[in-house]
């Protein structure tokens, strides 16, 4: 029903496009520092997750840090991260206005991320709020490469698909495929 009156689909890469990931990371560094984890060790854990192609989650970061000898109280860190997500503004009003205007003009919005589904939904709901979530018809946390996901989406629906992303690498892959 929604697709019949739609004029197109915009697929938004969540991190660094809709969600201020750098701001979140700066807050996470402070939290982990309180529990004795230096910023370099935290960044090293994040890079390992990226290198291994895993979905990002706080649980995975904690597991990597424990494997490297950092005994971080998991429950307290999770509570601090949740509080930080809840209390910090990650979603600018100008983005809310843009999403609203595009939606009124018949554009469907989809979020695409490489986080674990549970962690992504927490970032979206707690970090951006329910008001933000109402703009989107679907939130995908996928391990599938983004260009393949977009290819399947464009084949499934006979609508123009636009991809808003922050890296040249993904733009190049989308153009290739």
CB 140 within 8 A of CB 113: yes
Strand ranges for 37-151 from DSSP E: 107-113, 138-141
The model's pLDDT over 121-163, given as tens digits with 9 standing for 90+, comes to: 888 888 888 778 888 888 888 878 888 888 888 888 888 888 8
pLDDT above 80 for 15: yes
Picking from 145, 91, 114, 112, the residue whose alpha carbon sits closest to that of residue 9 is: 112
pLDDT at position 173 is: 64
pTM: 0.79
pLDDT bin (cut points 50, 70, 90) of residue 4 is low
Buried b vs exposed e over 84-97: b needs ≥16 C-beta within 10 Å? bbeeeebbeeebbe
pLDDT at position 164 is: 86
pLDDT at position 116 is: 82
Q: Give the pair of three-digit tokens for residue 78.
A: 């999770």
The model's pLDDT over 43-53, given as tens digits with 9 standing for 90+, comes to: 999 999 989 98
Contacts of 31 (CB under 8 A, 6+ apart): 77, 80, 81, 84
pLDDT at position 145 is: 82
How many angstroms separate the CA atoms of 45 and 62, rounded? 9
The model's pLDDT over 55-112, given as tens digits with 9 standing for 90+, comes to: 888 999 999 999 999 999 999 999 999 999 888 887 777 888 899 999 999 999 999 8
Lateral strand order in the sheet of 138-141 = 138-141, 107-113, 8-13, 161-164
């Amino acid at each position: 029903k929604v697709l019949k009156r739609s004029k197109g689909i915009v697929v938004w890469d969540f991190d660094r496009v809709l969600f201020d990931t750098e701001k979140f990371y700066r807050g996470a560094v402070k939290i982990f520092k309180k529990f004795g984890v230096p910023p370099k060790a935290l960044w090293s854990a994040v890079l390992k997750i990226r290198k291994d192609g895993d979905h990002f989650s706080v649980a995975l970061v904690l597991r990597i840090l424990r494997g490297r000898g950092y005994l971080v109280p998991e429950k307290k860190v999770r509570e601090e991260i949740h509080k930080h997500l809840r209390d910090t503004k990650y979603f600018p009003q100008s983005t809310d206005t843009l999403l609203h205007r595009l939606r009124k003009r018949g554009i469907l919005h989809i979020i695409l991320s490489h986080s674990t589904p549970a962690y992504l939904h927490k970032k979206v709901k707690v970090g951006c709020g329910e008001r933000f979530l109402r703009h989107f018809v679907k939130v995908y946390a996928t391990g599938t490469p983004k260009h393949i996901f977009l290819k399947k989406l464009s084949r499934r629906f006979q609508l123009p698909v636009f991809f808003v992303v922050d890296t040249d690498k993904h733009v190049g892959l989308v153009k290739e495929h």
